[in-house]
């Protein structure tokens, strides 16, 4: 899936930051790829971009309307549909991460067909994916893995990508979730793929490359999360990483969505990921640990990072506090 940039961000009638988190995340990481925002009456959240109509967005070069909002109750309001139709008629494509398909909205589907525009439903990957082979391939590959879902794997991967780029290292960010795909303009939503093709889709996403090229691959889920561990393993095997970075959120009291289920300790999580990765990547190793300490005071954060570092013998950082340089040092 390859999306034409830049975006006009559509925040619709979002009622809080969480309901517009896709738009906010894309703006945070790719302000250069966003020409403006379009908000309907009643929309609460906002990003620091000009408010544009469809026509103004198109004038400023927007090539895709990004539906960066979740819809209340799972239904599209007529106001959304009118905006989408206008965007298509103005010459934009539309990209969405909603469960509902853009192509299932008759007016949107008909207009896209008539105007020759593309509809990108990142939760509904199209096309044929191969079966994974596990065959060794050239190039360097780093994958972020986690103790749990939503612990900062995309954030850490993007920080690493910035740090690699700052040093002039040839690297690509490889997105595997919807926000990452919008940020990069390409990628594959691995959890939306038919399970037989998970590892093959990831092999296709990060193919053989020059021996000094790095693919920095966004991880998903956790080998210890019983809802999603299969996805995490398919992704791990498809990625064939030589380098892993463990991501963790230390204030979490239970696995996401599963009250009462404890998180794994970091050492067990490292060991399980190494064992699983060795099926495809004999020399795989961890380069560091990324801990999201946003809910800790500075002193508590420092103490935690130092004690983890001592226990694990790996650089332990919070990229939001210090950037990802220490892990990049360990890698390069």
Q: Is 133 in the site for a second copy (CB under 8 A)?
A: yes
Q: Which of 40, 109, 272, 304 binds a second copy (CB under 8 A)?
A: 272
58 or 124, CB closer to a second copy? Answer: 124
- In whole angstroms, give the CA distance from residue 149 to residue 55: 39
- In whole angstroms, give the CA distance from residue 243 to residue 2: 26
Q: Is 267 in the site for a second copy (CB under 8 A)?
A: no
Give every CB contact of residue 221 below 8 A, 6+ residues apart in sequence.
146, 149, 191, 227, 228, 229, 231, 232, 235
Token pair for 179 = 């926000």
Q: Is 279 in the site for a second copy (CB under 8 A)?
A: yes
Binding segment for a second copy (CB under 8 A), chosen from 171-179, 218-226, 242-250, 305-313, is 218-226
Q: Which of 166, 275, 300, 332 binds a second copy (CB under 8 A)?
A: 275
**Burial bucket for residue 19 (CB in 10 Å: 0-12, 13-18, 19+):** buried
Q: Please work out the total of residues on this chain that contact a second copy, with binding judged by CB under 8 A.
A: 38
Binding segment for a second copy (CB under 8 A), chosen from 104-112, 187-195, 296-304, 315-323, is 187-195
Q: Is 258 in the site for a second copy (CB under 8 A)?
A: yes
Give every CB contact of residue 9 below 8 A, 6+ residues apart in sequence.
23, 26, 27, 34, 36, 37, 38, 47, 49, 66, 68
Q: Give least dist CB 285 to a second copy, A.
A: 19
Residues linked to residue 119 through DSSP beta bridges, in sequence order = 94
Binding segment for a second copy (CB under 8 A), chosen from 17-25, 55-63, 113-121, 224-232, is 224-232
Q: Which of 49, 107, 169, 192 binds a second copy (CB under 8 A)?
A: 192
Residue 262, φ and ψ in degrees, nearest 5:
-70, 150
Hey, which residues between 13 and 52 contact a second copy (CB under 8 A)?
A: none
Q: Which of 134, 137, 204, 304 binds a second copy (CB under 8 A)?
A: 134
65 or 244, CB closer to a second copy? Answer: 244
Hey, which residues between 196 and 215 contact a second copy (CB under 8 A)?
A: 196, 198-200
Between β-strands 214-217 and 140-146, what pairing exists: parallel, antiparallel or unpaired?
parallel
- What strands, in cross-sheet order, belong to the sheet with 285-291? 171-174, 214-217, 140-146, 243-248, 285-291, 316-317
Task: Give the interface with a second copy as residue ranges (CB under 8 A).
Answer: 131-135, 190-196, 198-200, 223-235, 237-238, 257-258, 261, 272, 275-276, 279-280
């Amino acid at each position: 899936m390859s999306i034409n940039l830049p975006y006009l961000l559509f925040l619709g009638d979002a009622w809080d930051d969480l309901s517009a988190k896709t738009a906010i995340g894309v703006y945070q990481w790719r302000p250069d790829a966003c020409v403006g925002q379009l908000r309907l009456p009643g929309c609460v959240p906002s990003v620091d971009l000009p408010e544009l109509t469809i026509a103004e967005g198109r004038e400023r070069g927007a090539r895709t309307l990004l539906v960066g909002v979740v819809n209340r109750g799972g239904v599209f309001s007529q106001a959304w549909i009118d905006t989408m139709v206008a965007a298509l008629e103005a010459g934009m494509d539309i990209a969405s991460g909603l469960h509902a398909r853009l192509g299932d909205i008759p007016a949107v589907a008909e207009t896209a067909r008539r105007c020759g525009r593309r509809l990108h439903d990142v939760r509904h990957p199209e096309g044929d994916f191969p079966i994974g082979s596990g065959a060794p391939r050239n190039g360097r590959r780093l994958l972020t893995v986690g103790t749990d879902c939503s612990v900062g794997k995309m954030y850490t991967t993007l920080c690493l990508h910035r740090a690699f780029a700052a040093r002039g290292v040839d690297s690509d960010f490889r997105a595997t979730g919807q926000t990452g795909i919008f940020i990069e303009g390409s990628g594959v939503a691995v959890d939306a793929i038919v399970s037989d093709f998970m590892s093959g889709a990831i092999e296709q996403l990060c193919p053989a490359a020059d021996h000094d090229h790095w693919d920095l691959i966004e991880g998903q889920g956790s080998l210890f999360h019983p809802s999603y561990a299969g996805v995490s393993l398919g992704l791990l095997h498809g990625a064939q990483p030589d380098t892993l970075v463990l991501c963790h959120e230390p204030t979490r009291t239970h696995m996401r969505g599963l009250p009462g289920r404890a998180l794994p300790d970091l050492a067990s999580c490292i060991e399980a990921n190494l064992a699983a990765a060795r099926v495809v990547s004999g020399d795989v190793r961890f380069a560091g640990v990324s801990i999201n300490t946003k809910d800790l005071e500075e002193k508590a954060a420092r103490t935690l990072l130092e004690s983890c570092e001592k226990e694990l013998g790996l650089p332990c950082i919070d990229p939001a506090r210090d950037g990802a340089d220490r892990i990049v040092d360990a890698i390069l």
